[in-house]
Structure 1
Amino acid sequence: MGRLHTSADFIVRDERPFNPKDAEDTLELLDLCVEALQDSRHATREKALAELAGALEHQLPALDELDGRCFSIFTLCRVCVKEGSPKEVRLAYRAVGLLALTLRSGPSELLFHSVQPLARAFRERDDAPPVTTVAAIDCLAAVTFAGARGRDDAERSLKALLDHLITPSAAVSSSRSASKISGGGARRKTITPQVLVAAVSAWAFLVTTMVSEADALIRKADGAAWNAAVATLAGLLDHDDRGVRMAAGEALAVCVELNLTRHALRRDMDAVAAKVSELASEFPGRGSNNTTLPEQRDLFGQIAAFLEHGERPEKSLPTSVDGCVALRVSSWAKLAQLSFLGRFLGDGFEKHVQGNELLKEAFSYGAREGKVLSISKKKQGKKTPDKDSKVRRGSRSFLWDYPYRAHDDPETLLRIGWQALR
């Protein structure tokens, strides 16, 4: 086996112009992006990452054609996260998240090695721009959604979001709520509303992937941890930013719907219900942007109706050009999934919900409701791929040219991308 190359070796290549218009199809575009990501110029790598993200948003390459390329893309994105410009870092996080959703199974298990480095990205890099931290949060959620093999995997991501972003913010925003919350040793630091909204949204989204209404009753031993999480979210209802309050309200509705508040004290839930009613009838003046006040009133009005009468939200989203086919959701859990995935995929959401089996399963798209297992059930039944399984080699997968036989040992290739982050 040849020498194990470092990240610096990846960019020792002849610098050649990167022109995505030269690609005749999506796979050739991915190959051109892989080659351009090994360029020493920041501008070229930024352009390649943007094209890569765009391709993964709007196209769904055949999985048998993507296998060999995914490790090249994954590794080079990690190098960009460590050594690239701020724009490269943000785009690389997005590309990895999109790659995880595109792979859907099999190789996505290997992508789950990203969880710990991603958690460190928003735990230790306090000076990172908010937009970069949001990209890391979204990437963590997407990778967990696609690659989690069970509850333990999902819980690691939930804990990272709660301990390092959500709980410290709730403790700062409300001293009353802070007395109820165990900080878990997390450092207090200033977290922008933009980052906090993303963290709460991702947390609620991931909760829906590991818990369903059909699951067995929450054990009392686990109830204490969920009670602490609910208290943390309740503390955010007092946050100065309206977006944060709304994200926390949606997350609380998800917790109630999934019976995660089963062991909560009645007086605590009564306090939550009272606060929800207050926000549903809030007068103008609080918050920096009163143009979103009607949206807040509507949201918390729906949450109040759910807490009082069990009324579920309903939303329909057209998923065809003529509007004849629509995606319909009628629960807070599905609404949280739709909210996150719709925001993360952007214009590519329609394409993915039509052709991505992972999203089709999540929303029972194309099947009658009740005929598709919940995501949490599917993850519990998912088998881990055989460690000796081979990875197909792409037609122009440039990284395979190195002396070591990475195509026989994909873990080796992954270590190259991650070693600088440890």
Structure 2
Amino acid sequence: MGHKNKDGGKKAGSKASSSATGHKTKWGGKKAAAGVEASSSSSLQAPSFNFNPKDVTDPFELLDMCVAALHDKRASGGTRESALASLAGALEGVVPLDEATDGRPLVIFALCGASIKRGNASPAFAKEARLAYRAVGLLAFTLLNGGSTEILAESFPMLARTLQLAPSMDPATVAAALHCLAAVTFAGALGPEEAERSLKTIWGVICPNPKSPKVISSKVRPHVVAAAVSTWTFLVTTAAVTDAQRKADRAAWNAAIASLAGVLEADDRAVRMAAGEALAVCVELNLTQHTPRKDMDAILARVSDLAAEAGGKGADKTLFVEQKDLFRQILAYMERGERPRKALRTSSERRESIKVSTWAKMAQINFLRRFLAGGFLAHVKGNKLFKELFDVAADEKAALSIAKRKLMLKVKEKGMKMNRELAWAVKNVYCLPQGGPPESNKPDQLLKLGWH
């Protein structure tokens, strides 16, 4: 498994066979072989080894090393955290994982689920859960043949439960879960129903009581509210809302606008800025079409106040300049229709840039830059999922769309899953549990490690 191996499934599968006959693998050794020959009721115990990814240059070898570390039962929490951080770092580099021919994606997804379960159960492992959430989101962005659809289906229940418990959970973990849900929904949603389900789940963090849309949750930290508003805005921009849907759902959209107006009154500037961006997007997408005029006038007045906020002596200056600049742009758009204009360099030589002239595209890029972090430029240049947005020749007003992404995904329905057979074939190399249900159901055991 330590060898450079892009195929993952087939080659690793052959190694699994060889390990059963007693040959050494880089991580498993003879102990792994002995475990394979154990009875079906036993579980293969992974040997402990030193996790040292610094000298690994091949991304596939690094993925294999991370997987082995995550399943080492004697690994410390620090080792698992290091493995997850390295795993996310590798996925930031747009590793071409073809889930149709590679067993790694399902194994990685299963082990990340186990880390999330561990972190949700004990605050001591919260950092491990945060890193795992990030890795899952990056994995969904990376898969080539629709496996992200299965990631969304399998991960949504746990993500929804995490967000429902937001007031009692570690705030940073909740923020990580929000970002993960936004990523897997965009990458994996096949229709408006799935996008709407995620939007409602995220909105529950912002406004937990639908009967009081202007009452924002006071039980979650400000940076969690800001993250929830930003992820909600990102998904709204990707879900094409028709005129008929706007009319049919006018009450829901009016309630959302009222809630965002309430968020504009928050004490935290980051929260106010997230709400301002969301409102600008809603205006641009005509989601305020049926909002009462007096409500829109009140929003405009508040935007004007924030654009002219004075920073008196002794006042908190955190994000002061950024807030004024943002709300001045929003005010110019709401009053005069002036759209934002920005050019984002994508080349160190400054020859290539992404041009932005809509609030929707601005919101999408802002979210992706935060989520992808150091991997942003790699995905700009190498991820086909974002081609419609990041192509240097793309229209300035072009934006990501779940509907367009679905059309780009030219695979049959049966190809919308990660290859469970190959994942099970490499179980011996990855030291995963043996035995269990009948052979036809064994691959599903991988998901039970964390997500079921």
Q: TM-score range by the shorter chain?
A: 0.7 to 0.9
CA distance in 1, matches of 2:267, 2:307: 16
What RMSD, in angstroms, separates the aligned Cα atoms of the two structures?
3.2
**Structure 1 residue 86 and structure 2 residue 86: aligned?**
no
Mapped contact 2:110–2:450 kept (Cα < 8 A): yes
The SS at the match of 1:386 is helix
CA distance in 1, matches of 2:416, 2:439: 13
The SS at the match of 1:323 is coil
Structure 2 vs 1, CA of residues 406 and 23 (structure 1 numbering), >3 Å: closer, same or farther?
farther
Letter in 2 for 1:44: T
Letter in 2 for 1:315: K
Structure 2 vs 1, CA of residues 308 and 390 (structure 1 numbering), >3 Å: closer, same or farther?
closer
Mapped contact 2:67–2:108 kept (Cα < 8 A): yes
Which runs of 4 or more aligned residues in structure 1 lie more than 4 Å from their structure 2 counterparts after TM superposition?
285-288, 370-374, 379-384, 387-390, 394-397, 403-412
1:54 CA drift (Å): 0.7
**Structure 1 residue 181 and structure 2 residue 217: aligned?**
no
1:293 CA drift (Å): 1.8
- Equivalent runs, 1:56-67 vs 2, <5 Å: 56-63=91-98, 67=102
Structure 2 vs 1, CA of residues 109 and 390 (structure 1 numbering), >3 Å: closer, same or farther?
closer
Larger mean CA deviation between 326-335 and 372-381 belongs to 372-381
CA distance in 1, matches of 2:314, 2:173: 25
Letter in 2 for 1:293: F
Structure 2 vs 1, CA of residues 207 and 44 (structure 1 numbering), >3 Å: closer, same or farther?
same
Letter in 2 for 1:156: R
- Equivalent runs, 1:1-400 vs 2, <5 Å: 12-21=45-54, 23-40=56-73, 41-63=76-98, 67-84=102-119, 85-103=125-143, 105-112=145-152, 113-124=154-165, 126-163=167-204, 165-168=205-208, 181=213, 189-211=218-240, 215-285=242-312, 289-361=316-388, 363-369=389-395, 374-379=400-405, 381=407, 385-386=413-414, 391=419, 393=422, 398=430
Mapped contact 1:111–1:143 kept (Cα < 8 A): yes
The SS at the match of 1:350 is helix
Structure 2 vs 1, CA of residues 125 and 217 (structure 1 numbering), >3 Å: closer, same or farther?
closer
Mapped contact 2:238–2:399 kept (Cα < 8 A): no
Larger mean CA deviation between 127-136 and 383-392 belongs to 383-392
Structure 2 vs 1, CA of residues 412 and 384 (structure 1 numbering), >3 Å: closer, same or farther?
farther
Larger mean CA deviation between 104-113 and 90-99 belongs to 104-113
TM-score by length of 1: 0.85
Aligned length: 399
Structure 2 vs 1, CA of residues 379 and 348 (structure 1 numbering), >3 Å: closer, same or farther?
closer
Structure 2 vs 1, CA of residues 193 and 303 (structure 1 numbering), >3 Å: closer, same or farther?
same
CA distance in 2, matches of 1:273, 1:86: 40
The SS at the match of 1:259 is coil
Mapped contact 1:150–1:379 kept (Cα < 8 A): no
Structure 2 vs 1, CA of residues 125 and 373 (structure 1 numbering), >3 Å: closer, same or farther?
closer
CA distance in 2, matches of 1:231, 1:372: 28
Structure 2 vs 1, CA of residues 411 and 106 (structure 1 numbering), >3 Å: closer, same or farther?
farther
| Structure 2 unpaired stretches of 5+ | 1-39, 120-124
Instruction: Report the equivalent of 1:174.
Output: none
Larger mean CA deviation between 132-141 and 56-65 belongs to 56-65
Mapped contact 1:180–1:231 kept (Cα < 8 A): no
The SS at the match of 1:317 is strand
Mapped contact 1:148–1:379 kept (Cα < 8 A): no
**% identical equivalent positions:** 48
1:319 CA drift (Å): 0.6
CA distance in 1, matches of 2:72, 2:207: 41
CA distance in 1, matches of 2:142, 2:117: 23
Structure 2 vs 1, CA of residues 149 and 288 (structure 1 numbering), >3 Å: closer, same or farther?
farther
The SS at the match of 1:260 is coil
CA distance in 2, matches of 1:259, 1:326: 28
Higher relative contact order (CA 8 A, sep 6+): 2
CA distance in 2, matches of 1:66, 1:96: 19
1:211 CA drift (Å): 2.3
CA distance in 2, matches of 1:143, 1:239: 29
CA distance in 1, matches of 2:380, 2:200: 28
TM-score by length of 2: 0.80
CA distance in 2, matches of 1:22, 1:181: 53
Mapped contact 1:56–1:102 kept (Cα < 8 A): yes
The SS at the match of 2:96 is coil
- State the structure with more CA Rg: 2
Mapped contact 2:355–2:396 kept (Cα < 8 A): no
Structure 2 vs 1, CA of residues 384 and 411 (structure 1 numbering), >3 Å: closer, same or farther?
farther
1:22 CA drift (Å): 5.4
Structure 2 vs 1, CA of residues 323 and 254 (structure 1 numbering), >3 Å: closer, same or farther?
same
